[in-house]
């Protein structure tokens, strides 16, 4: 009560809140609402028919399985990289740390053509797999590689601060009690970083579901095989099938919103836990 009254001493609440709501509504909320309205003009059976089309189901399978595997790979690799960056000193560490964010900064189309050039049958890495009949670019493996690239920083940046704050006295206690390094990692450190790992995983997964730019070049875009959902939405748009595009987009949006809600709830809960610990 006292706190709230004190905070209102500062000026500009009405103005800043008003501007925030107007801008948020105009740029984000109203356009999103229009999508839901468009989808709502479809009858339930039409909606169902669009979504159960073989090509649509196939694209959902490709998108979800690729995103899930890529996020899992990133969870393991991201934890390793965060660990190395926090716990060890080596030359060039600062540069390596900065480069982890490259996927955030590099435009997706650039990443897409670069990865394709590397993994195409005549590319730097692709040529070594070609003699064994293994194709990377233009298959689902290619999609996976693009999604691993795009999602890696999410896990590293979620886990890194938690590892940094982790009090080493627990590890020392475990070591004095005779635990080996692996036991310490699994029983002491892993439980402490699990919430951050889950957040990183969910962020990487959510990003992968909607990713378009880096995937379209390397995927080959074959319907039923390597066609991702965002590409299918564009295909429907180009055929002027606005209702179909809106229906698929609505399903994707609901999934994204659920993920966003879960992630924000986790982070909010973690922050509160953190605060209460610090408060004591």
Partner 1 sequence: MLPKKQTVHTSTKGKKQPAVASLTKGILISLALLFLGFFILMPLIIVFMEAFQKGIELYFLSLTEPDAVSAIKLTLLTAAISVPLNTLFGVVAAWAIAKFEFKGKNILITLIDIPFAVSPVIAGLVFVLLFGSQGVLGPFLEAYDVKIIFAVPGIVLATIFITFPFVVRELIPIMQEQGSEEEEAALSLGANGWQMFFRVTFPNIKWGLLYGVILCNARAMGEFGAVSVVSGHIRGLTNTLPLHVEILYNEYNFTAAFAVASLLALLALVTLVIKSFVEWRTRKAHC
Dist CA 141 CA 218 (whole Å): 9
If one asks whether residue 171 binds partner 1 (CB under 8 A), the answer comes out as yes
Dist CA 204 CA 70 (whole Å): 8
DSSP state letters, 5-33: HHHTTSS-HHHHHHHHHHHHIIIIIHHHH
Binder among 127, 168, 194, 239 for partner 1 (CB under 8 A):
168
Dist CA 65 CA 68 (whole Å): 5
**Dihedral sign of CA atoms 257, 225, 211, 23 in order:** negative
164 CB-contact burial (10 Å; exposed 0-12 / middle 13-18 / buried 19+): exposed
Nearer to partner 1, 27 or 57 (CB): 27
If one asks whether residue 31 binds partner 1 (CB under 8 A), the answer comes out as yes
Binder among 49, 108, 221, 270 for partner 1 (CB under 8 A):
108
If one asks whether residue 35 binds partner 1 (CB under 8 A), the answer comes out as yes
Rounded least distance, CB 213 to partner 1, Å: 4
Rounded least distance, CB 206 to partner 1, Å: 6
- With contact defined as beta carbons under 8 Å apart, do 138 and 225 qualify? no
Dist CA 202 CA 270 (whole Å): 15
Q: What is the pattern of x (binds partner 1, CB under 8 A) and - over residues 190-209?
A: ----------------x--x
Binder among 139, 252, 266, 270 for partner 1 (CB under 8 A):
252
Q: Which of residues 43-72 bind partner 1 (CB under 8 A)?
A: none
Rounded least distance, CB 13 to partner 1, Å: 5
Binder among 100, 137, 189, 196 for partner 1 (CB under 8 A):
100
């Amino acid at each position: 009560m006292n706190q709230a009254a004190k905070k209102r001493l500062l000026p500009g609440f009405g103005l800043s809140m008003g501007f925030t709501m107007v801008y948020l509504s105009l740029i984000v909320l109203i356009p999103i609402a229009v999508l839901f309205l468009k989808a709502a003009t479809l009858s339930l059976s039409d909606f169902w028919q669009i979504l159960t089309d073989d090509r649509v189901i196939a694209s959902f399978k490709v998108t979800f399985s690729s995103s899930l595997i890529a996020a899992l790979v990133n969870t393991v690799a991201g934890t390793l990289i965060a660990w190395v960056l926090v716990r060890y000193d080596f030359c060039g560490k600062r540069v390596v740390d900065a480069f982890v964010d490259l996927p955030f900064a590099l435009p997706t189309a650039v990443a897409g053509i670069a990865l394709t050039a590397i993994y195409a049958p005549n590319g730097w890495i692709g040529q070594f797999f070609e003699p064994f009949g293994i194709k990377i670019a233009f298959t689902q493996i290619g999609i996976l590689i693009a999604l691993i690239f795009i999602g890696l920083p999410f896990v590293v940046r979620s886990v890194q601060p938690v590892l940094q704050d982790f009090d080493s006295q627990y590890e020392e206690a475990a070591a004095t009690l005779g635990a080996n390094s692996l036991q310490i990692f699994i029983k002491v450190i892993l439980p402490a970083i699990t919430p951050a790992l889950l957040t990183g995983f969910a962020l990487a997964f959510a990003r992968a579901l909607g990713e378009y730019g880096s995937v379209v070049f390397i995927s080959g875009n074959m319907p039923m095989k390597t066609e991702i959902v965002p590409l299918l939405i564009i295909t429907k748009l180009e055929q002027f099938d606005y209702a179909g595009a809106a229906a698929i987009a609505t399903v994707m949006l609901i999934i994204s919103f659920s993920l966003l809600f879960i992630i924000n709830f986790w982070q909010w809960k973690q922050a509160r836990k953190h605060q209460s610990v610090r408060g004591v």
